[in-house]
Chains A and B, each alone.
Chain A
């Protein structure tokens, strides 16, 4: 993959301060709509994610974040709107197509199979096999061990042959992230990744996102927790009742403005702008 080459100076710059991200536009959504029966879930949402950018997607329950994530990862088809990847319009891609693009989603309830080992989960769908399709388990175990050694900074995982079901929520998230990173994904979507994590694990995860940025991997952090998002995201998008009501860089916003937008929607945002105190 061409984009996987890390652009060192780019990453170092951005983590300090980058007022307007200038990276290549990776994903551009415009006018995305989706309804489930009578419930209109998304009413024309559009935004961009650039290469090497960490974007926060914020909003209260029912704002449409999860649906948007599912559309981005191709699990759910949008009713209308455009999905462009590096300037190429794909209409409504399937999960198989987004997989090829390098989109990896780490879902809230962690996309792992509890009854299988860490190795089998890491290589799920991308097993190393011989010509007959038999898995090369030893090699997979070895690589999984390497990945966990170099990526995961969560205590307590002892062997890649441990069952995922025996791990804690944080350890499971770490495995899911290790998988995404190893396979050189270009866009990492994390749906409420910190909801199951302890404080230390959360910090490690957020730090890791910053590190990934330096390797040219973009991430979209979907979260309730404004403080987590504010800490690591270059840009913030706030959703309210199926609409995007705010799309701003970290420099141009504050935790207070984001709070007003998330909690009270457009009204709160207006009130904040009239008297930002």
Chain B
């Protein structure tokens, strides 16, 4: 698998002559500057195709290649089915675009939050209830006429609840699974206490609806928000040093500590990112539906985590990609959409989604196993 160097000659593999040379020279302590065989430096790709190859390997390493291929195949299948029978399978119709571009961004943003936290090595099962509470708080504050306050309090709420989980998990070194399971029930009760069991309705929400959920070409405005969030977190996770540290803490916590990265700080930041995503997603939903019930977010946490897993995020932390999380969310909802369009009865939805999640988890495990 030796790659050609820039001038086209096959590069010699490392070691070999050089290793023998060093073995002979180094113990004598005399030859400190051994003649260097520059193999690695020439391996930095120069051509466009080499860069593309490197990029493919990179997203494969992050677990996003397989999901990407599956996603593209599903899309091709849908388009072909639509072209063959546009009336019975209206996949490319405006109405269908509308539905997908409303639902995908919310789940994808939640999946990014859950996925970033999973890369850091933790879970948050209370994100669905956090989501509900944020949406309720937003509707109440907004309907009372306090627009700025509604945004500030919602974001503070989302981030605060997630950070509280983070503090308990890191301070007492308890698995986040059990902490956030308890918190899920707690905030479920808190949402009912705060709002009562009836739906909260939004007053004077039309302006916001144009901003957050207006029509942008064939899509809804939520797509723009998803693109902004996804690009921001892609840069943060894959290009910024903070992202590098989040991967390090999830991938090998003691290694991160040994190179003086503070795992507690990084995990708290990851919990905070989840809170931010939850608050934003809750505002998108509250604005679109104009009415939120206390039970809205139940099960949302599992869907978000499932989307992240389908997108190649490792359950053991340290591995994943923002692209994968978005594709994972999109794939789950597109498959749901396919079932709906083809008129499958409601109970098929969960049945299929459940099967997909298990399949994705097994699939990722097999890939991880191979990598080790």
| Residues of chain A contacted by B318 (CB below 8 angstroms) | 113-116
B319 at the interface (CB under 8 A from A): yes
B29 within 8 A of A: yes
B217 close to chain A: CB less than 8 A: no
Find out whether the CB atom of A15 lies under 8 angstroms from the CB atom of B259: no
Residue of B whose beta carbon sits closest to that of A123: B244
Task: Tell yes or no: A238 within 8 A of B by CB.
Answer: no
Cβ contact within 8 Å between B252 and A145: no
Bound-state CA distance A11–B44 (Å) is: 35
CB distance from A135 to the nearest CB of B (A): 6
| Choice from B15, B18, B43, B240 contacting A145 with Cβ under 8 Å | B43
B148 CB to closest chain A CB (Å) equals 28
Pick out which of these stretches binds chain A: B53-61, B149-157, B279-287, B358-366: B53-61
B30 to chain A, nearest CB (A): 7
The yes or no answer to B26 lying at the interface (CB within 8 A) is: yes
Least CB separation from A107: chain B residue: B258
Partner of B36 from the list A132, A141, A149 (CB cut-off 8 Å) is: A149
User: Which chain B residues have a beta carbon within 8 Å of chain A's beta carbons?
Assistant: 1-3, 13-16, 18-19, 22-23, 26-30, 32, 36-41, 43-44, 54, 57-58, 61-62, 235, 239-242, 244-245, 247-248, 251-252, 254-261, 314, 318-319, 371-372
Q: Do A133 and B242 have beta carbons less than 8 Å apart?
A: yes
Which residue of B is nearest A114, CB measured? Answer: B251
A226-261 residues with Cβ-Cβ distance < 8 A to B are none
A16, A125, A150, A211: the one contacting B259 at CB < 8 Å is: A125
Stretch in A38-46, A55-63, A157-165, A262-270 touching the partner: A157-165
> What are 8 sample pairs from A and B whose C-beta atoms fall under 8 A apart?
A114-B318, A115-B318, A116-B247, A116-B248, A138-B44, A207-B22, A213-B29, A214-B32
Q: Contact partner of A129 among B44, B241, B255, CB < 8 A?
A: B241
Q: Closest CB of chain B to A257's CB: distance in Å?
A: 23
CB within 8 A of A134: which of B28, B239, B314? Answer: B239
Contact with B along A109-139 (1 / 0, CB 8 A): 1111111110010001101010011110110
Alpha-carbon distance between A120 and B261 when the two chains are bound, in angstroms: 14
| Given A135-B240, A135-B244, A200-B19: A149 in contact with B41 (beta carbons within 8 A) | yes
In the complex, what residue of chain B is closest to A11 when comparing beta carbons? B29
A107 to B254, CA, bound (A): 10
A90 in contact (CB, < 8 A): no
Report, as a range, how many residues of chain A touch the other chain: 35 or more
8 additional A-B pairs beyond A99-B259, A113-B256, A134-B240, beta carbons within 8 Å, are: A113-B255, A124-B245, A125-B259, A137-B239, A155-B16, A159-B43, A166-B371, A207-B22
Establish whether residues A124 and B19, one from each chain, have CB atoms under 8 Å apart when the complex forms.
no
What does the 1/0 interface line of A92-103 toward B look like (CB < 8 Å)? 000110010000
- For the complex formed, measure the closest distance between the CB of A191 and the CB atoms of chain B, giving whole angstroms: 10
Interface assignment of A84: CB less than 8 Å from any CB of chain B: no
Complex partner residue of A159 from B40, B245, B252, B259, CB under 8 angstroms: B40
Q: A120-B244, A124-B244, A165-B371 are in contact. Are A155 and B259 (CB under 8 A)?
A: no
A254–chain B nearest beta-carbon distance, Å: 20
Q: What residues of chain A lie closer than 8 Å to B29, measured between beta carbons? A: 11-12, 14-16, 210-211, 213-214
A72 to B318, CA, bound (A): 28
By beta carbon, the residue of chain B nearest A152 is B14
Within 8 A of B (CB), among A53-75: 73, 75
A159 near B3: Cβ-Cβ < 8 Å? yes
Tell me if A115 and B314 are in contact (CB < 8 A). yes
Interface contact B19-A204, CB-CB below 8 Å: yes
With A15-B27, A153-B22 given, is the CB distance from A111 to B239 under 8 Å? no
- On chain A, the residues within 8 Å of B244 by CB distance are 116, 120, 124, 127, 135
Which residues from A are CB-within-8-Å of B259? 99, 111, 124-125
Chain A residues, Cβ within 8 Å of B240: 129, 132-135
**Cross-chain contact B241 with A210 (CB below 8 angstroms):** no
* A105 interface neighbour in B38, B258, B314, Cβ under 8 Å: B258
Which residues of chain B are near A15, meaning CB under 8 Å? Answer: 27-29
Assess A207 versus B23: contact at CB under 8 Å? Given A113-B252, A134-B240, A149-B41: yes
Cβ contacts under 8 Å, B2 to chain A = 158
The smallest beta-carbon distance between B15 and chain A, in angstroms, is: 3
Residues of B within 8 A of A135 (CB): 239-241, 244
- Docked Cα-Cα span, A158 to B15, in Å, equals 11
Residues of B within 8 A of A137 (CB): 239
> Is B252 touching A75 in the complex (CB atoms < 8 A)?
no
Contacts of B23 in A (CB 8 A): 153, 200, 203-204, 207
Closest B residue to A232 by beta carbon equals B27
Residues in B neighbouring A160, C-beta threshold 8 A: 40, 43-44
